[in-house]
Each structure stands twice: as C-alpha cells, then as structure tokens.
Amino acid sequence: MSLGMVWLASAAVALAQPPLTLPQPSQAASAGQRVGLTDITVTYHRPAVNKREIWGKLVPYGQVWRAGANENTVITFSTPVSIGGHALPAGSYGLHMIPAEREWTVIFNRESKAWGSFFYDQADDAARVTVTPSAAPFEEHLAYTFDDVTDKSAVATLHWEKLAVPIRIDVDTSAVVVASLHSELRGLQGFSSQRLAQAADWCATNNVNLDEAGKWADQAVAQQENFQTLRAKAAVAERKGDVAAASDLRAKSMTVASEADINNYGYQLLGSGKVDQAIAAFRDNIKRHPDSWNTYDSLGEGLSVKGAKAEAAENYRKALEMTKDPKQKDRITAILSKLSS
C-alpha cells in the first residue's frame, strides 16, 4: 500500500470516530412547574457572567437574543396557555428576548430546534409580549425559576447578573380539567361510580360544566347508590340552585353511610375549618359504631382542634383502651401526654 493510500485510510478511520462527550462551558439545565394539570418546562443552557459586562454589551440592546446559550432556549406547555393576553396552543416554542434598557420583548417562536437566535425568523412568531425587568441579587450562571405559583398561573423568571425578567403564564385550569375528565371518562373510568361521582363533585366545587356533571352524578347513582354518589349528586343540585333536592340527597346519603364514610366526611369538615360540624359528625359515628376505637380517636382529634382538651383526652383514653394495635397505642399515648402537659 502506498503512503497516499495509508493516509487516506487513516483519515477515513479518524472521520468515522464519534466525537468525545465533554462538559460544555454553558451547562444544560431545565426548570419545570405544574400549574393545575398543565406542565410547563424551560430547557436552556446556563452561560456565566465571568466578570463580563452583560446587558448592552455581551447581550446587546435591541437585538434578538436566545435567552440562554447554545441552541434554542425552549419553553414547552402540555396544554394551551395564555401569555399577556395571547393564547398559545400546547407545544414547544423557541424562547427569545429583545433586551432594552427598560422594557423587554419576550418572543415565543414556533421554531424550537434551531441554533440559538441565528436562524430566528419573525414570521414564525406565535406571540410577543412586553415585560419589565427588575433589579435582583447577583446570579453568576443564568437560571430560570417559577415564582408566584397558583393553580391557575405562574411566573417564569429569567435570572442573570443583577436582573430578573418575569414572564407571567396563565392557564384556564377549569377548562383543562374538564377536557381531561372528558377524556378519562370515555375509558374504563367511565364504568366506575366512584370516578363519575368524583368528576361530578369536582365540577360542583368549582362551579363549571354543571349540566354534564349532573349527568355524571346520575350515572354514578344508577351504578351504585352510596354515600359518595349521593353526596356528589347533592353538590351538583345545590350548585344549580335546587337546595331542597340537595338536602334530601344528603339526608339519604347518611342512611347508607359506612363508618369510614362518616369519618372521612368529618375530616373533610375539619380540614375546611368547620370544626363544630366535624365534631357533630364524629359524635354521630360513635352512636352508630360504639365498638370502634377509631370513632373515639377521631372525636378526640376534633375536640383537640377545638381546644376542648379534657373531653378530647377522655375520648382518646377510650380509643386507647379499645385498640389492640401497638402502633396506635403508642401514638395515642403520646397524644395524651401532650394534652396533659
């Protein structure tokens, strides 16, 4: 083999070798947040300040910037969202920004797989919003966080150097949940009285989709008439203004309620701050199930929340005498010790 052929063979082998995997100066990162049922994720690379002057210098004012380093910074929504009054369908968007001394332009571009902003085309913009950055503690490496999170909104914030750039994201969580319920109840969940009742009750609690919620509640009761299904039907009836029907349905639900039903109902009341109603439910459960240690334990907890320590301790002692579970005995003993201190 000639020297030329050897060189060509060596070059071919070299070209065939895969590149080495080495750390990047601007490391990859992601930040995520669920809002209701909507998952929001920002995928980006984190450049460092590295003693450089950032705003207006390294990142020029008035020019489209990739809001990170390397390839596109990408923001992904699992459901439709709204940003600054602009509706955005579910999907992934290239996130770009145009920095300025005061107000910035934040861009959501349909092209999410390009390299940085070098191939940015305004024709692909899905939305542009104007935001106002604020002074913030120094951040050496660019980072995204989610702040002011509720079940209907969140603020995605870019932090770098001494600046924070907020982007408010709103979600119609009720619409998202109703769409999810539609989808799930078309499957096996639609044959479950428990799931139908749960869906109806959620709609009643949130005052949405009431007509369909009524149908789900009817189906649930038809499949299995029990405490949960009757209470769900009552909740929808009350929300639709039929107070008398709701009262009758709740009264009927109590006639078929199990010990666990009433106990769970009492804790729901307790959790919503209706302490006296919760105590009444726990007392009723004792009348129905006087041989259950758990009914006395629950009443003890309700009375303890109310501040009636003496009566709470009395019921806890009854529960302690009746239970045979060593772990429960230890737990109740510890509670009694605190009540007496």
Residue 38 phi, psi dihedral angles, 5° rounding: -95, 125
Q: What is the mean pLDDT of the chain?
A: 93
Residue 23 has pLDDT above 90, yes or no: no
Region of residue 158 (phi > 0: left; psi between -120 and 50: alpha; otherwise: beta):
beta
Q: 10 pLDDT band (50/70/90 cuts)?
A: low
Helix (H) or strand (E) holding 158: strand 153-170
pLDDT the model gives residue 4: 54
Q: Tokens standing for 254? A: 């109590």
C-beta of residue 281 within 8 angstroms of C-beta of residue 269: yes
C-beta of residue 45 within 8 angstroms of C-beta of residue 29: yes
- 153 beta partners: 170
Residue identified by tokens 């020029």 is: 60
> Which amino acid is it at 157?
T
Could you tell me the end-to-end alpha-carbon distance of the chain, in angstroms, rounded to an integer? 95
Per-residue pLDDT reduced to its tens digit, 294-309:
999 999 999 999 999 9
> Which amino acid is it at 1?
M
All domains of the chain, ordered by start, with CATH?
Answer: 27-171 (no CATH), 172-256 (1.25.40), 260-341 (1.25.40.10)
Residue identified by tokens 């203004």 is: 241
pLDDT the model gives residue 340: 87
Angle between helices 293-306 and 259-271 (to 10 degrees): 10
Per-residue pLDDT reduced to its tens digit, 81-106:
999 999 999 999 999 999 999 999 99
Q: 114 pLDDT band (50/70/90 cuts)?
A: confident
CA pair distance 48, 71, nearest whole angstrom? 16
Per-residue pLDDT reduced to its tens digit, 182-235:
999 999 988 999 999 999 999 999 999 999 999 999 999 999 999 999 999 999
Q: 20 pLDDT band (50/70/90 cuts)?
A: confident
Could you tell me the pTM of the whole model?
A: 0.82
> Which amino acid is it at 106?
V
pLDDT the model gives residue 22: 72
List Cβ neighbours of 247 (8 Å cut-off, separation of 6 or more).
Answer: 234
